[in-house]
Amino acid sequence: MLDEKVDSLRIYVLAEDFAGYSSLFWAQHGVSFLLEMEIEGEKKHLLFDTASYSEPILHNLKLLKKNIGEVDYIVISHNHYDHTGGLPGIMKEINKEISIFAHPEIFKVSFSVDPFFRYIGPPKNLREDVEKYGGIWILSREPIYIAPGVFTLGEILDGEREDWEKSKTHVVMVKDGRKVEDRMNDEIGLAVLTSKGLVVIGGCSHPGIVSMAKKAMKLAEVDKVYAVIGGFHLVNADEKRIENTVNAFREIGVEHIYTGHCTGLNAECEFKKQLGDKFHKLHAGMIIDLA
């Protein structure tokens, strides 16, 4: 499908649960990445996720000498507050017509019940608050082609997931007046095809980072992934799932793993131990040059 590639890709980490050692950047719960790309001679900026709050993102942008007004597109990975929470505040700053790519279930009410009830969905009135400042929602279950070499993955249902990535989610939603397990089908990832290879970005990667990487490979018609970036939600994963993830990264040729957020210390230690310098711990303010 895609013989088109971006000419360059630099990622600024605007939000992360870890600020880094001796850092002036602010940490917060969630992720937010600013992708700066050179595409067919034009510079384009894409904002992926907005963490829980806009203020630390704006603070970090200032330290990075980047301007939120430059953002051309926004992609929101899924409905959780630690990815959608900063969006109204960010849109207030952007204050211009801009396309926001997400899944049709982005506004759903979801909650965690372990050990007690806790709302983890998007801020109240997200749809309206964002539209008020110029946001245009592009809600699709299907992958969307945003620019040459840049596309969302669309939803990844259980049938497309690796068996060992189909664990119970511990997240609940209300559907037709009934409490049901939230399979978090609303998580869409983002992929960028560069001269070095395919880059796959997840928010929490709830469908499984390997299932997401494989979907991206299928869409881009390539047999390798150059880099995976984001939270991989392995924080409660057992040893077997972590081991399977490491083996799959080897199999699909992953050369760089940039992770943090909900990946968890056990998985991070295993990545470091098994994959050495390919593992990079994400932190707020980090600049990642990928092509």
Token pair of 252 as six digits: 């699909």
User: Which x/- pattern, by CB under 5 A, does the window 62-81 give for Fe ion?
Assistant: ------------------x-
Q: Cα dihedral sign for 129, 172, 242, 26?
A: positive
Which single residue brings its beta carbon nearest to Fe ion?
204
DSSP assignment of 150-168, as one string? Answer: EEE-----GGGS-GGG---
Please say which residue, 80 or 103, places its beta carbon nearer to Fe ion: 80
Question: What proportions of the chain, in percent to the nearest 5, are helix, strand and coil?
Answer: 25, 30, 45
Query: Is residue 82 a contact point for Fe ion (CB under 5 A)?
Result: yes
In the bound state with Fe ion, the residue whose beta carbon lies nearer, of 204 and 291, is 204
Would you count residue 103 as binding Fe ion (CB under 5 A)?
no
Determine, following the binding rule CB under 5 A, whether residue 87 of this chain makes contact with Fe ion: no
Comparing CB distances to Fe ion, the nearer of 122 and 149 is 122
* Residue closer to Fe ion (CB basis): 82 or 155: 82
Q: Which residue has the tokens 């009410």?
A: 109
Least CB distance from residue 171 to Fe ion, whole Å? 8
Residues 220-279 that bind Fe ion (CB under 5 A): 262
CB 189 within 8 A of CB 201: yes
Q: Is 34 helix (H, G, I), strand (E, B) or coil?
A: strand
Q: Nearer Cβ to Fe ion, position 85 or 285? A: 85
Part in contact with Fe ion (CB under 5 A); list of ranges 16-24, 192-200, 201-209, 234-242 = 201-209
The minimum distance between CB 193 and Fe ion, in angstroms, equals: 25
Q: Which stretch binds Fe ion (CB under 5 A): 42-50, 202-210, 216-224, 264-272?
A: 202-210
The Cα 15–Cα 30 span in angstroms is 6
Provide the angle, in degrees to the nearest 10, between the axes of the packed helices 54-63 and 87-94: 50
Stretch that binds Fe ion, among 46-54, 150-158, 160-168, 197-205 (CB under 5 A): 197-205
- The residue type found at 103 is H
Nearer to Fe ion, 80 or 161 (CB): 80
Would you say how long the chain is, in residues? 291
Classified as helix, coil or strand, 75 is strand
Q: Does 204 bind Fe ion (CB under 5 A)?
A: yes
DSSP type of residue 82: H
Residues of this chain that interact with Fe ion (CB under 5 A) are 80, 82, 204, 262
